[in-house]
Every structure is written in structure tokens, then in C-alpha cells.
């Protein structure tokens, strides 16, 4: 956990300044001026790794994963979440490997729409995050053009609008555009806080306007008030300042349709898929892309399909799948 005071421990006036960017006369320290280093890890600071070789979703649950089944934000209001949206499938490129598959579908109606979300325990904070993911530009079936969001992220629940404890770091792929821009792009976004109704976001995005269809390794380094985003070993951006997590977060993948982004007057079934090969987290350690690759390869060579030595929170914290 970072050594600066958490927002919820600060006086109300200062907390409001941090959340809303107000009180311009108040001199606040700049977290982005801190060196991008982390303290030396303990003998086992904690590692999380899953290559999704589980036999079924019951085994996935025993590994601490939660398949979301509660309706609500984000996505199409009234849409379904739950069983059937998350599966474990053979890797068509490697018979010895298995993949996590997220599937979202819509017929243009809320009751005919289902989104997919998978959450881990809420206990992740600083360190290195990485995942190997296959993005898709087009639906598996049906006409193309819906605004669909394909993701990998860590997040804490938004308990209320402008929640000062809200924390989120995420990758979002928008093959059909969205958020007021029709261009295909991948986002790396760090969040300070947000209001849902009406929508008002305090965040820092990076946008790469290009297709990233196919397999890619997405990575985030998080320490000392800064977050760095890497795609296939290349650093895309560095964020800092107030857009930095304040509390432990859950590890998530989801696939969903944006409100207002469905094809108009289209009732044909559309199905989108996103696959995940593996996910990795090194707690309180900053690893380079090459070091992440080496650690994942070492785990796989040792036939370690799942490892979780990241300490649990006591008491446990509710993840976004619990809300």
C-alpha cells in the first residue's frame, strides 16, 4: 500500500479538493514527482498466476473467480450477466492449452442482451499486472457495428457518485469506436473518481487509434503514484498525479455493449467473443515486459497452472461482482 495518506483519512476540505480538483489556492504535493520505484519485496511479496487450464467453471470458482450474475452498470440497462457467458475451451492453436472465453450477445433488446464479467478477490494494489488476450474486431455471428467494449482491468466498487475511494486502472478495446468517437482504438485509462448520473469522469486516458485484433500481451506497472501501460512490450504511456488507486482492487475481465451503441432497428443475433490465455500479477514488484515473459514461461515449464500467494484482505472486501 502506498505510504501517502489515503483520501478517506484526510480532512473533508482536502478530500473534496482531491476528488473534484477544487481549492486551487491549496498547495498539494505532486505524486507524479515521486521516483518510479518500489520498496524491495519480501521473500515472497505475492504472485498471482492463472493460465486457465481449469476443467470447468466450478474449478474456476474454487480458484477464487466469480462469474458476475447481477444486473447493473456497465452496459445495456436491464441486460443479463451470468452463467453461459464464461467458459473454458481448448486452444485451437495448441491442443495442450486451454483458454478462458468471454461471450456477449444481443438482439438489440435489453432482455436479449447478455454481458460477461469475471472477477477475482479484491486484494490487488501496487506491482505489475499482465495478461495475454485475444481481441476481435467483428462478431462471431451477425452484422458488425455495435459498440462493444473488450477489457482487462483492476477496480474497486463505486459506492456512490464521486466516491473518493474509487480506484480503477484498465485496458479497453473499442473495435467499433465509442464514447463519442467512431474510430477503432485501444484505451489505457487511470481513474480518480466518477459520477454515473449525470456522467462526470475524472480520469486520464491514453488512446491508440488502430486495430489490435488478435493476440496481445497487455501490461501495467503500478507504483509510487504512477502507472505505465505496455502493449506487446512497448510502453504507450505513463499516468500519475490524482489518477492513482487509493484502495485494494479486484482483478477483472469483461465484455459488454455500450448504452446507446447498439445497431438501430437491428434484431438479428450478434455474438462477440474475447479469449484470455493467462493473467499474471507480481505484488509490489516492478517487472519489465521481458521479466514478465520469463516468469510466465518459468511457471508454465514447471506445470504451475495456477498460483495465488497474494495475501487476502482481512476482513474480505466486496468486489465489483458482488455489487
The dihedral over CA atoms of 14, 2, 9, 238, expressed in degrees to the nearest 10, equals 30
Asked if 33 contacts 244 with a C-beta cutoff of 8 angstroms, the reply is no
pTM of the model: 0.87
Query: Which three-class secondary structure state does DSSP give residue 29?
Result: coil
Q: What is the rounded distance in angstroms from the CA atom of residue 266 to the CA atom of residue 122? A: 38
Asked if 159 contacts 165 with a C-beta cutoff of 8 angstroms, the reply is yes
Where do we find the cell 441486460?
79
Q: What is the pLDDT of residue 321?
A: 85
Q: What are phi and psi of 13, to 5 degrees?
A: -60, -40
Where do the structural domains in the chain lie, given as residue ranges? 44-308
Q: pLDDT tens string for the chain (323 positions)?
A: 333 333 333 333 333 333 333 333 333 333 333 344 444 555 568 999 999 999 999 999 999 999 999 999 999 999 999 889 999 999 999 999 999 999 999 999 999 999 999 999 999 999 999 999 999 999 999 999 999 999 999 999 999 999 999 999 999 999 999 998 999 999 999 999 999 999 999 999 999 999 999 999 999 999 999 999 999 999 999 999 999 999 999 999 999 999 999 999 999 999 999 999 999 999 999 999 999 999 999 999 999 999 999 999 999 998 888 76
Q: What is residue 312's DSSP assignment?
A: P
DSSP bridge partners of 323 = none
Structural element, H or E, at residue 58: helix 57-62
Upper half-sphere CA count for residue 289 (Cβ side, 13 Å)? 14
DSSP bridge partners of 217 = 132
44-308: which CATH number, 3.40.50.2300, 2.60.120.200, 2.40.50.100, 2.40.30.210?
2.60.120.200
Amino acid at each position: 500500500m502506498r505510504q501517502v495518506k489515503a483520501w478517506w483519512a484526510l480532512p473533508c476540505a482536502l478530500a473534496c479538493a482531491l476528488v473534484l480538483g477544487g481549492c486551487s489556492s491549496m498547495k498539494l504535493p505532486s505524486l507524479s514527482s515521486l521516483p518510479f520505484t518500489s520498496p524491495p519485496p519480501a521473500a515472497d511479496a505475492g504472485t498471482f498466476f492463472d493460465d486457465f487450464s481449469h476443467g470447468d467453471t466450478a474449478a474456476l470458482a474454487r480458484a477464487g473467480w466469480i462469474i458476475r450474475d447481477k444486473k447493473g452498470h456497465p452496459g445495456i440497462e436491464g441486460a443479463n450477466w451470468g452463467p453461459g457467458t464464461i467458459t473454458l475451451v481448448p486452444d485451437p492453436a495448441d491442443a495442450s492449452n486451454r483458454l478462458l472465453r468471454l461471450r456477449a450477445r444481443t438482439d438489440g433488446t435489453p432482455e436479449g442482451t447478455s454481458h460477461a464479467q469475471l472477477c477475482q478477490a479484491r486484494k490487488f494494489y501496487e506491482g505489475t499486472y499482465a495478461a495475454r488476450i485475444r481481441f476481435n474486431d467483428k462478431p462471431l455471428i451477425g452484422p458488425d457495428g455495435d459498440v462493444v467494449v473488450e477489457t482487462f482491468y483492476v477496480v474497486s466498487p463505486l459506492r456512490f457518485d464521486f466516491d473518493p475511494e474509487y480506484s480503477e486502472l484498465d485496458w479497453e478495446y473499442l473495435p467499433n469506436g465509442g464514447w463519442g468517437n467512431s474510430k477503432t482504438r485501444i484505451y489505457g485509462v487511470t481513474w480518480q473518481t466518477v459520477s454515473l448520473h449525470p456522467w462526470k469522469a475524472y480520469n486520464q486516458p491514453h488512446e491508440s487509434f488502430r486495430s489490435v485484433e488478435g493476440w496481445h500481451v497487455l501490461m501495467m506497472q503500478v507504483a509510487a503514484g504512477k502507472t505505465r501501460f505496455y502493449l506487446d512490450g512497448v510502453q504507450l504511456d505513463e499516468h500519475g498525479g490524482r489518477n492513482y488507486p487509493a484502495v485494494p482492487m479486484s482483478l477483472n475481465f469483461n465484455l459488454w455493449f455500450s448504452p446507446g451503441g447498439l445497431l438501430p432497428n437491428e434484431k438479428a443475433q450478434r455474438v462477440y467473443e474475447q479469449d484470455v490465455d493467462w493473467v499474471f500479477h507480481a505484488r509490489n514488484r516492478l517487472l519489465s515486459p521481458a521479466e514478465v515473459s520469463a516468469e510466465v514461461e518459468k511457471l508454465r515449464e514447471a506445470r504451475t497452472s495456477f498460483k495465488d500467494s497474494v495475501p487476502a484482505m482481512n476482513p474480505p472486501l466486496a468486489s465489483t461482482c458482488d455489487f
